[in-house]
Each structure stands twice: as structure tokens, then as C-alpha cells.
Amino acid sequence: MKAVAWHGRRDVRVDEVPDPKIEEPTDAIVRITTTALCGSDLHLYEVLGPFIREGMILGHEPMGIVEEVGSAVTNLKPGDRVVMPFQISCGTCFMCDQGLQTQCETTQTREEGRGAMLFGYTRLYGDKDGGQAEYLRVPQAQYTHIKVPEGPPDERFVYLSDVLPTAWQAVEYASVPDGGSVCILGLGPIGDMSARIAMHKGYRVIGVDLVDERLQRVSERGAETVDLREVDDVGEAVRELTDGRGTDAVIDAVGMEAHGSPGAAIAHRMVGLLPDFLGEQVMNKAGIDKLNAVYTAIDVVRRGGTISLSGVYGGMADPLPLLTMFDKQIQFRMGQANVKHWVDELMPLVLDDADPLGVENFHTHAVPLDEAPQAYETFQKKRDGAIKYLFKP
């Protein structure tokens, strides 16, 4: 089969690889019909090379048709249409019972001290090949699936794998009061969808970015915007819009893709050039995250407000302004989205033919799998209006 494989920093290729096979009774094999390119994939493209083996298949936002199931999978059959959550979870352990599927005790990568296994995301999260391929082996398939009906196009459902639950959790974790306000830092796919969900819930949204197409997309749906290129101080700009107070909540949808920290940007590039054993030490201990977005969130949020971190961070020794955080009485919530926890709330929205969140036209590009290398480059460089790529194997 064809699959998008990692071969080095900024080097992904479409390889011919063996078709996956059932390995455990809880496995399923799914023929992929649509799979997406995520901003988190850019971390693999750019900086997380020390933790990834050459030839690993990337991707964690797939959907398709069940081809085969293991003997222990009794709730799926060949021909079923399914979306795969980006995390692999069992559904029966203590953590899954708490709705914390990202901490699944059955698939935790304990040797790395990390949470649940993820599709296509380095040995830190289980070294499991991902879904940017023609076929995918799904472990714990009795639970790691979302069954969807025939009829509506893939574009209606594929974002249940990651974008929709990540954005929904970001808004839920922000704890915006009824009729309140939220500032969203970063208007890529997660920030854009968070804005749509927040407005759907009746909140005032102020979106912050520096890419014309991203600012335009959320503005057209009713959000206010702040263009980073036009202001010297984001905090002051937001306070001017909120009676000098700041927004009730801030969602950081940027993570370590943040702008504004040239030193950290250089460090990120250096990690990609170091031998793996040295790069691992830098990533795990040196704390090289670009924290500009976090500092901005702390500045922007009103006193007593909440910051919701959905952007991915990778450092272990990052400095935080604890005095300011304590003085402002800020609450933080963060973490990978617990996909299955939110599906029941999201499914009515994606099944609604009125498409209230605009998922059918959310993507900006849909290309064959063969064009994945160019898609990675275009998306990483924010060219051609690229906000969301879908691959059609």
C-alpha cells in the first residue's frame, strides 16, 4: 500500500509499504477514505525527529471502511464506516471510566512516562504507525472507533478524529461564563474551530493571528479579530475591546508553533540537526518551547479568568511567571483531547444538515495521498491559504 512516511527533518515521502494485518484479537483493519494533515504533524516534520524512527507512517486524523476485525471485536463488522480517534484507548480501565481516554491505562506508554498510545506520533506515544495511508491497523478497535452513518460526505465526519473534540474541549476547559468572552490565540484549524464552537455557544470571540486568510475566516463567521502585525501589545489591544479588563478566558491554540521567540526558533532548528541521543536530552530537559503564546494568554486574560491550553508543548523546564499567575488568580486547564468523551455532544452537530459549524467546507485543500510531501511543505510555510489539508488515498 501507499503511505506517508517520515525520513528526516522536513523529509516526508509516499512509500510503498506492506499492508497491515490483524495482530491481536482486538485489532481491526480499516481502508482509509479520508485522512487529514494536522498542525501537530508539523512538530514531527520540524523538531521531534529524535523520537521517531525512519519510515514511520504519519497521521492521526483518519476515517474509512472496516475491512477485517479480530475475534474479540464484536461491535464492528466489514463494511462499517468509522472515524478513528487520534488516541488508542480500551474503554474499560479506570482512566477511560473517568472520561480521560488520553490517559488510558491499557495503552499508556509507561516506558516513556506518557499517556495513551497515539496514531503516528513517535515512540513517546507508542510507536504506532498512523493513518496517512491506504490502510490502517486499529488496536483496541472494540473502543477505538466512532461509527458514522452512510450518506453524508467524509468531510462531515473526519474532524471527529481530532479537530472537533480538541476544539470542543478547549472551549469547555475555558469555562467561559454565559454570555462571556474568550480570546483565541492562533487561528489555525483548532483555533478556527474553537471560535466556531464558542460562537455557537453564544460567547463573544476575539481571535488573534497574523495570517490574512485565517483572520478572514473567523471574521466572516462573526468573530472580532486582532492582527498581530498591526499591534505592539496584544494584551493592551484586547483590553481596549473589553473595558480595560481582558477576556473572561483565553484559549491558546498555538503551542510550540508560536511566533515571537527567535531564540527558541533557533533552538528548535538545532534539535533537528543534533544526533538523536543529544536531541532527546535537549527536548526532555532544556525546555526550549516557544512560550510567547502562554505569556500572552497570561497577560490577556482578566483577573480570575481561565486559560485553556490546547496547543502542544514539548519542554520540561519552561519558566512561567508564577507571581503574575498567582496575583491574577488565573486558572489553567490543559491536555490532549479525550475524543470519545465529547462525541455524544458533537454528533448531533455533524449530523445536522444545516452544518452549524461549517465542517463540510472547513478544509482549504483536498489532494491525493501522492501529493502529501508538497502539502506538508505548503502547510508548514503557511502558503496558498493552507489551513486544513485532507488526503484522499
The count of other CB atoms within 10 Å of the CB of residue 29 is: 20
At 282 the pLDDT is 45
| Structural domains in the chain plus CATH codes | 2-162+338-392 (3.90.180.10), 167-334 (3.40.50.720)
| pLDDT tens per residue, range 261-273 | 444 444 445 445 4
* Residue type for position 288: I
| pLDDT tens per residue, range 2-37 | 999 999 989 999 999 999 999 999 999 999 999 999
Rounded Cα gap, residues 118 and 68, in angstroms: 21
208 near 184, Cβ under 8 Å?
yes
At 311 the pLDDT is 76
At 14 the pLDDT is 98
Rounded Cα gap, residues 229 and 251, in angstroms: 20
Q: Is the dihedral of CA 323, 324, 326, 331 positive or negative?
A: negative
At 290 the pLDDT is 64
CA atoms lying within 13 Å on the CB side of residue 187:
27
At 308 the pLDDT is 97
* Residue type for position 200: H
84 near 131, Cβ under 8 Å?
yes
Ranges assigned E (strand) in 169-300? 181-185, 204-209, 224-227, 247-252
Listing DSSP states for 46-106 in one string gives HT-GGG--TTPBP-S-EEEEEEEE-TT--S--TT-EEE--SB---SSSHHHHTT-GGG-TT
Mean pLDDT score of the chain, rounded to an integer? 91
| pLDDT tens per residue, range 52-63 | 999 999 999 999
Rounded Cα gap, residues 38 and 51, in angstroms: 18
| pLDDT tens per residue, range 311-345 | 776 666 567 899 999 999 999 999 999 999 999 99
Q: Please report which confidence band the pLDDT of residue 287 belongs to, taking 50, 70 and 90 as the band edges.
A: very low
At 280 the pLDDT is 53
Rounded Cα gap, residues 339 and 330, in angstroms: 26
Residue 214 phi, psi (nearest 5): -70, -45
Q: 134: closest CA among 56, 17, 13? A: 17
Hey, which residues does 190 pair with through a beta bridge? none
At 266 the pLDDT is 44
Q: 334 Cβ partners below 8 Å, 6+ apart?
A: 173, 308, 309, 310
* Residue type for position 4: V
At 260 the pLDDT is 39
Rounded to 10 deg, the angle between the 189-200 and 212-220 helix axes is: 10
Q: Please report which confidence band the pLDDT of residue 38 belongs to, taking 50, 70 and 90 as the band edges.
A: very high
| pLDDT tens per residue, range 205-258 | 999 999 999 999 999 999 999 999 999 999 999 999 999 999 999 999 987 553
At 7 the pLDDT is 95
Q: Please report which confidence band the pLDDT of residue 47 belongs to, taking 50, 70 and 90 as the band edges.
A: low
What 3-state class would DSSP assign to 333? strand
The conformation of residue 364, written as its DSSP 8-state character, comes to: S
Over range 131-141, report the average pLDDT.
Answer: 98
CA dihedral 169, 312, 105, 19 (to 10 degrees): 100
- Strands 247-252 and 301-309, how do they pair? parallel
